[in-house]
Every structure is written in structure tokens, then in C-alpha cells.
Amino acid sequence: MAEKVSVDLGARAVLRCASLTAATGNFVGLIGPNGSGKTTLLRTMAGLQRRVAGTVRIDGQLINDMARAELARRLSFLPQGSEVHWPLRVERLVALGRIPHLDGWRRLSGPDHEAVAEALRAVGAAHLVERTVSALSTGERARVLLARALASEPAILLADEPVASLDLSHQLLVLDLIRDLCVQGMTAVVVFHDLTMAARYCDRLTLLVQGRTFAEGTPDEVLVPANLRDAYDVEGALRSDLGVPHVVSLRRIDRAPAGPLQ
Amino acid sequence: MSSIALEARPARRGATRDGWLILALVGLVLILMIASLIVGRVPLAFIATLRELVSGDETTAALILGEIRFPRAILAALIGATLGAAGAAMQGLLRNPLAEPGILGVSASAGLGAVIALYFGLSQTFSFALPAAGMTGALLAVLLTYVLSGRDASIFTLILAGVAVNAFAGALTSLALNLAPSPYAALEIVFWMLGSLADRSFDHIRIALPLMAVGGILLAGTGRALNALSLGEDVARSLGVNLRIVRARLILGTAFSVGAAVSVSGTIGFVGLVVPHLLRPLVGHEPGRLMLPSALGGAALVLAADIATRVVPVEPDLQLGVVTAIVGAPFFLYLILHIRRSMR
């Protein structure tokens, strides 16, 4: 989907020829150490990043050639954090996700309300519908914001660490949901910090290091000890002795001041 | 996403809920307009005078009603509506409940334009000089804010540019006072800045209305984008909002409408700050639904304050901006304390 994307922000090159491909129905995990450019790559794919060299295509079509409204109908972007500026009611907040489908002066109608209710139920937040967003816990708010992103019934979901602030049970709920939606044909690109969850849920992983695509493939191919060492400075391995894959980190590798790629 | 049967809950519509609020506010504005026509230094038999006015009798009472009180009431409603709507627009754009219509320097610069006209005595040479200079000041301020902050400015840069323009316009206004040729001229400038609707005619409405209307049209229809902005700029853009256009519409709309308002009335503070904040809980805190109720609430507040200037028996008459500030400033304090409490 994103090909040879480079982003220069002032003196610092955040992305240097990073690439990421997500086939239809794939659940792609975007992983990498802090500052490797995951968020920038995700924003670039959402068409939000300025000063981009390279191309982003959806079904072969350049996103720069697509109308913003058309892009909004097909692609949903969920940033990190839980920025909501006004104490809106949960139902109205999730309904903001329907904006791409409201052309001109059309107001929310039956199908829109159905999509909102369905999205809230899917993230296990149907009981919050009458609440005010400022009164929610961090985890509740994260799920409600995911419901907002899903309410537009997107073909592509780009989510930046959607489970970072959730407890274990709700992490599984949200990731199960995204995987189910991918089985039904949605394409998801999700930024992960938790490599175990990434290995467990993703069809494919893209590992970014210093703005470059360092490795790309199935979790088994990407999370090999050599990559963990070179990308994360960690001695570790991908195991599956409990029936599900999990990443074990044994110890930190101290390196000379030179960067991890030297 | 496959659809699943829904729980049976009637789909509530924001429009019908706001309907009652808007109706109530329209009623309030109408009542205050009638009160504004009745109240004044010269007692009028309102119905009888209205009948004379309609039938074209040129009695003194009919002249007072038709040429003084009608334009004053209409102007109060128009200016209040402008300040209320622009306040809601700026608070929505900047996502800050402490924003007000003049935050980007529009009011101060319109005031400066008018003060320059007063200083050079242009308002004596031709009567439209004062409002024309005010509107020029407002437009120049917006241009300056835009140039200072750049096309893709962040909200933060925009506010800072507004602070700079505000400060500069304030400094030049002080300079005009400093260099005023006579104490009388200085007094004239000061009184004008206090804001008033006394002695305004239909001519003033004719001057201000076109720009106010253009500004209002620019502001209307940005509601959905303002709602989307509650989730931040990135999400708003990802929802298909063209931020550059929305920002330009809101800023230009505010400059046109508030510039025109300040040019005929002087600065009337706190209306654009207080009214949106008061009404926000009644529209579920949604910035897009706030603009119309806020316009009506602003009209009601300025009408009420203008009536108060005529009812309170002091000499010389209270100026309108003084009344709104005396009511508004304590409320502003309450607002700050309230926000601090809810932050804790």
C-alpha cells in the first residue's frame, strides 16, 4: 500500500524509503522501537502527513488523486491517545464517524444510528451510550474512540496502538474484533508495542527501524532472534509452547554509542 | 461489517431536540425587541404609536418609534447575534471555551480603524467614514493574522498571531488617545470605545448588514466540521474535512461579521464569550449545534443590556459595553473557577 515513503521533517528524516503492503483482508502489525517512524508511516498512509516523497495507493489508486471525502469513506484513522475536546455524549461522539457518509445537509438517519449502535456493541461499550465522554475511564474512552473509527464501516482501518491503555481482557476483545472484521474483508494496519499480541493476531508484520522497513513477513519470519537483537537490542525469541505465540525477552543487549544498524 | 438486529431504541435527532431551545430563544428575542421599542426616555403609548407609524402619521411619537427605537432594537439584535455566533465559531475552531470573537484581533482592529477616523475627524466630513474605517481595520487585521501565522498554521500559532495583532491595535489606539488634539477629542474616542447603540439609524443597519450577512453565510454550514474538530485536527481531516477551507471560512466569517458590528457599535465585550458558554450544555456540548442558539442568545443579551442602559437612571447614560462587561466579567471569573474545579 505504501511504497518507498520518505518523510523529511526539518533537519530530521523520519521515514527513509519505508514500505508497507497490506492485502485485502489482512491484519498487518506495524512494529518497531520508539522513534522508528511507525506513527509517521501510519499518518502518511492516512494522507495526513505533509512533505512526503513516495506514494501511497489504495487498490492501485494514488490517495493524492482521491477526493478527501472518498478517502474518508474507505479509510478510517484512529490516532494514539484519547483527545476529545468537549464533553460530548458517547453516542454523538461515535456518530462523528458517520460524517464521511453524510453528504451535503443530510442528517443522521436509520442506517447511521444502526452503524453507531453496532460499533458500540462490537467494542463492548453499548452500555456507555448515554454517558458523557469526559466521565469515562481511559480504557472505556479508548474503546469508544475505536467505535468511532469503526462506525464509518471502513474498508481500511489504520489504528495507532488501540490497545495500549486497555486491560488484558479488553485487549483480547478489541483484537478479536479487528481480526473478525478482517476475516469479513476489512484491511487493518495496527501499530503495536506488545510484540506478543502482534505475533498472536497479525497475518503479517512490518518492522520499522530508523525510518526504514527492516523486515516484512509473517510473525514467524519477522520475530526471529536476529531481528529482535538488531531492531530492539534485546536477546529474545518467539515461542509458542503454550499453544499461542508469545515473544520472550531475555535480556537487554548493551551496545556501543553507535546505532543499532552499525 | 455485517449488520445485526438492534435494540429497539428510538433514534433521537439533534434537530428536534434543539427545536424547542431555538423556539424559546426566538420567543425571548421577540419579547426583548418589543420591550426595547417600549422602553425609553420618552414614554410612548406603544400600540397607538405603532398604528400611527403603520398608517404613516408623522407624529413625534411615531418618529421616535420608527427612526430611533426600531433601528436601535434591530441593530442590537443583529450585533448580539453576530457576537454570539462568532464567539461559538471561535470557541469551536480553537477548541477552547475561553476564546471570544476578538481573539484573532478583529475587534481591536475594527476599533482602531474607527478611532483613526475619529482622530482625523473623518467622521465629520462624511458620515460613513467611521464604520468604513472600522471594517477596513478588521479586514487588515485578518490579513495580518493570516500572514503572521501562515496558511497551514496550527491553532497555537493562530492564537499567538491574534495576540500580536490585538496588542498592536491596542497600542495604536492608545497612541491616538495620547496624541489626541484636545481633551474633548480624547473623550469622544473613549466613549466610542465603550460601545453604544444610542443615536443609531437605519443608515447604520444599511452599512453593517451586508458584511454581517456575508460573514454569517461563511460561518453557517461549518457546524459538521466543528463537530469533527472535537476529535482533533488529524481525525477531522481523516473524516473528510478540508481544514484549510473551514479555517478560512470561520476566520473570514468572524472578521466580516464582527468587524461590521464593532464598526457601528464600538466594542461590546463578553457577549461572545459568555453566551456560547451558557448555552453549550443545552446542545450536548456539540460545537456545530451551538452556533444558531448562540446567535439568538447573543441577540437577547445585547437587547437586554441595551434596555438596561436606558432603564438605569444615571447621568450621563450608561454605555452598552460597560453594562455587558459589568455583567460579563464576574461571569468570566466564575467560568475560570468552574473550569479549574472540573480539571481537578
Q: Does A86 contact chain B (CB < 8 Å)? A: yes
Q: Please give the residue of chain A at the shortest CA–CA distance from B277.
A: A86
Q: What does the pLDDT look like over A126-144, one tens digit per residue?
A: 999 999 998 898 889 999 9
Buried b (16+ CB within 10 A) or exposed e, A77-103: bbbbebebbbbbbbbbbbbbbbbbbbe
**Interchain contact, A100 vs B224, CB within 8 Å:** no
The predicted pLDDT at position B3 comes to 41
Reported confidence tier of residue A214, pLDDT bands at 50, 70, 90: very high
The predicted pLDDT at position B149 comes to 78
Residue B333 pLDDT greater than 90, yes or no: no
Average pLDDT over residues B7-22: 61
Q: What does the pLDDT look like over B196-229, one tens digit per residue?
A: 888 888 888 998 999 999 999 999 989 999 999 9
Residue B158 pLDDT greater than 70, yes or no: yes
Reported confidence tier of residue B83, pLDDT bands at 50, 70, 90: very high
**Interchain contact, A99 vs B9, CB within 8 Å:** no
**Interchain contact, A71 vs B4, CB within 8 Å:** no
Whole-angstrom Cα distance, residue A95 to residue A170? 22
Q: What is the CATH number of the domain that holds B208?
A: 1.10.3470.10
**Interchain contact, B95 vs A79, CB within 8 Å:** no
Q: What does the pLDDT look like over A22-32, one tens digit per residue?
A: 889 999 999 99
What are the backbone dihedrals phi and psi of residue B140, each rounded to the nearest 5 degrees, phi first? Answer: -60, -40
Helices then strands (H, E): number in chain B?
16, 0
B155 within some domain: yes
Neighboring chain B residues of A147 at a CB cutoff of 8 Å:
none
Buried b (16+ CB within 10 A) or exposed e, B130-151: bbbbbbbbbbbbbebbbebbee
User: pTM of the entire structure?
Assistant: 0.88
A110: buried, middle or exposed (CB in 10 Å: 19+, 13-18, 0-12)? exposed
Reported confidence tier of residue A11, pLDDT bands at 50, 70, 90: low
**Interchain contact, A184 vs B1, CB within 8 Å:** yes
Tell whether domain A2-224 is in CATH 3.40.50.2300.
no
B117 within some domain: yes
Q: Are A51 and A9 in contact (CB under 8 A)?
A: yes
B338 within some domain: yes
Binding-site residues on chain B for chain A (CB distance < 8 A) = 1-4, 6-7, 9, 11, 13-15, 95, 152, 224, 227-232, 234-235, 237-242, 280, 284-287
B6 within some domain: no
**Interchain contact, B229 vs A102, CB within 8 Å:** no
Average pLDDT over residues B146-169: 84
Number of domains in chain B: 1
> By percentage, how much of chain A surpasses pLDDT 70?
92
B33 within some domain: no
Reported confidence tier of residue B337, pLDDT bands at 50, 70, 90: confident
Mutation for testing the B interface, residue in A42, A83, A85 having most B CBs under 10 Å:
A85
Most confident of A42-46, A60-64, A79-83: A42-46
Reported confidence tier of residue B1, pLDDT bands at 50, 70, 90: very low
Whole-angstrom Cα distance, residue B280 to residue B262? 24
Average pLDDT over residues A50-58: 84
Whole-angstrom Cα distance, residue A95 to residue B232? 15
B16 within some domain: no
Q: Please give the residue of chain B at the shortest CA–CA distance from A89.
A: B284
The predicted pLDDT at position A7 comes to 63
Residue B7 pLDDT greater than 50, yes or no: no
Q: Where are the alpha helices (DSSP H) in A127-240?
A: 138-150, 168-183, 195-201, 219-222, 225-232
Beta strands in B25-109 (DSSP E): none
Q: What is the ipTM of this complex?
A: 0.89
B13 within some domain: no
B24 within some domain: no
Average pLDDT over residues B237-263: 92
For the four alpha carbons of B334, B340, B343 and B344, in that order, the dihedral sign comes to: negative
Where are the domains positioned within chain A?
A: 2-224
B179: buried, middle or exposed (CB in 10 Å: 19+, 13-18, 0-12)? exposed
Whole-angstrom Cα distance, residue B197 to residue B204? 10
Neighboring chain A residues of B227 at a CB cutoff of 8 Å:
96, 99
Q: What does the pLDDT look like over A77-87, one tens digit per residue?
A: 999 987 789 99
